[in-house]
Amino acid sequence: MKSMTNERITTRVSIESKELLEKAAALAGYASINSFIANTMISEAKRLITQEHFLVLSKNDALAFVNALDAPVKSNSRFLNAARKHKETVNNENYPI
């Protein structure tokens, strides 16, 4: 069974930054600046990771997106040429895989 260990992360900050962190830790009710920093870092890390997994749209943007999906595709000559070239490339027997 893997033993539980606490890893250490250290950083250097200016006196002003340390005082700011101490004040914030006290206001948030943390017993120590270390627990405040650790909890805040973890919270922010989770927020950033979640933010990367979800796309939040306004109501207008969401409606525009759905309408664009529902709209019929308009093919122009550039699109048709690109599609034809892609098909030729994929079907070419000499195309390296």
Helices 33-53 and 15-28 sit at what angle, rounded to 10 degrees?
Answer: 80
Distances from the Cα of 4 to the Cαs of 7, 36, 38, 45, in angstroms? 10, 21, 17, 21
Q: Are 28 and 13 in contact (CB under 8 A)?
A: no
Q: What are the φ/ψ torsions at residue 81 (nearest 5 degrees)? A: -65, -45
Average pLDDT over residues 50-66: 91
Tell whether pTM > 0.75: no
Percent of the chain at pLDDT > 90 equals 61
Contact by Cβ (8 Å): 57, 65: yes
> How is the chain split into domains, by residue range?
15-91
- Give the pLDDT of residue 87: 87
Q: What is the pLDDT of residues 12-52, one digit of tens each?
A: 999 999 999 999 999 999 999 999 999 999 999 999 999 88
Distance, in Å, from the CA atom of 74 to the CA atom of 80, rounded to the nearest integer, reads 10
How far lies 96's CA from each of 13, 48, 92, in Å? Answer: 55, 40, 9
pLDDT digits (tens, 9 = 90+) for 41-53: 999 999 999 988 9
Q: In the prediction, which pLDDT does 15 show?
A: 97
